[in-house]
Amino acid sequence: MNDIGLPLDERLQIGVQTIHRRTEPAVGPWLPTIDELRTVVELVDRSGYDSLWVGDHISFHIPIFDPLLQLAQAAVISRRLVFGTGVYLVPLRHPTPTAKQVSTLDHLTEGRFIFGVGVGGEFAREFEACGVPVKERGARLDESIAVIRKLWTGQPATHDGRFFRFEGVTMQPPPRQAGGPPIWCGGRTDAALRRIGRTTDGWMSYVITPEMFREGLEKIAAAAAAAGRVIDRGFGTAHLLFTRIDDTYDKALDAATVTLSQRYGMDFRKAAQRYCALGTPQQVAETIMRFHDAGARHVILDFVGPYEERDRQIERFAAEALPLLAALRKPA
């Protein structure tokens, strides 16, 4: 046990969050080809990363596909990578078909799937479009996780909750992984961290500093202890990190600011300075090392900047930054 209060493996794993790709300036709606999507998965695989992740929204500032369908295709392309959702907005859906889809995806990935979940809420209109009151999103996630885990047993399941009720429902086949894919939950609020400590198999953070990451893990450990839960070494500690390699820090900051301001519909420059990994390969690697020191064992890179440079960023990080992290990536 370390000073954070959780039993953590030491090995660092590096993933990539993206299978979006644009090769030419957009004139109208972006319509990628199958070859473009395949190319990115193959690139991430052969470049030596550990995992590939995709995000989720019904409606967003930029084009976005359904994550489970994307990963079903990606699993055919790579037989090595771990796949994950970062994060799937469970409250927007009914948990019973979600349990079926995720169980199927666990088989299609040969058990190499991590179910990252979250409450969302930044875009209230997508909740309206799904007929879900945005204020119920936390309670719906809690109950949905319980429903999903019951159905994943493969045994007759009964549930009588605030939002969902059924009796004697058997979902076959159960997931490939015993008990189902690990459920990692996103969130930064105290309520989210308490939920993670009580019920989930890991934490996925986003837009925080290494110091905030360490504090979050301490709160998760305290919530687990208060609930009488013993967390084992398989607990996942992940951080989604906006990343940009360039010849100088200022060039990387400028490119990241443009992309993230467009993505989130706000001026992201100050946030980029505080939360992103930017600059030379050495500077970016040092930021990742600080997150590892704070307890992060899965760092998921979202390469920001012009879309047409995405592949080059993936390649450059693999060639120039991954070697700087080699000692942390070795199995214990």
Q: Where are the domains of the chain?
A: 13-329
Match 């039993």 to its residue by tokens: 7
Q: List all residues 6 or more positions away from 306 whose beta carbon is below 8 Å from its beta carbon.
A: 255, 259
User: Per-residue pLDDT for 32 more than 80?
Assistant: no
The topology (CATH level 3) of 13-329 is TIM Barrel (3.20.20)
Question: Is pLDDT above 70 for 29?
Answer: no
Average pLDDT of the residues in 265-280: 95
Mean pLDDT on 120-125: 90
The better pLDDT of the pair 329, 33 is held by 329
Whole-number Å distance between alpha carbons of 53 and 31: 20
Measured CA to CA, the distance from residue 154 to residue 171 in angstroms comes to 5
CB-neighbour burial class of residue 213 (10 A; exposed 0-12, middle 13-18, buried 19+): buried
pLDDT band with cut points at 50, 70 and 90 for residue 25: very low
State residue 30's pLDDT score: 60
Angle at 168 between CA 164 and CA 171, to 5 degrees: 85
125-153: average pLDDT:
97
Of the two residues 21 and 281, the one the predictor is more confident about is 281
Contact criterion met (CB below 8 Å) for 179 and 199: no
Give, in degrees to the nearest 5, the angle at Cα 125 between 274 and 188: 35
Preceding omega of 16 cis (within 30 degrees of 0): no
Say whether pLDDT at 312 is over 50.
yes
Question: CB within 8 A of 170, min separation 6: which ones?
Answer: 154, 155, 156, 157
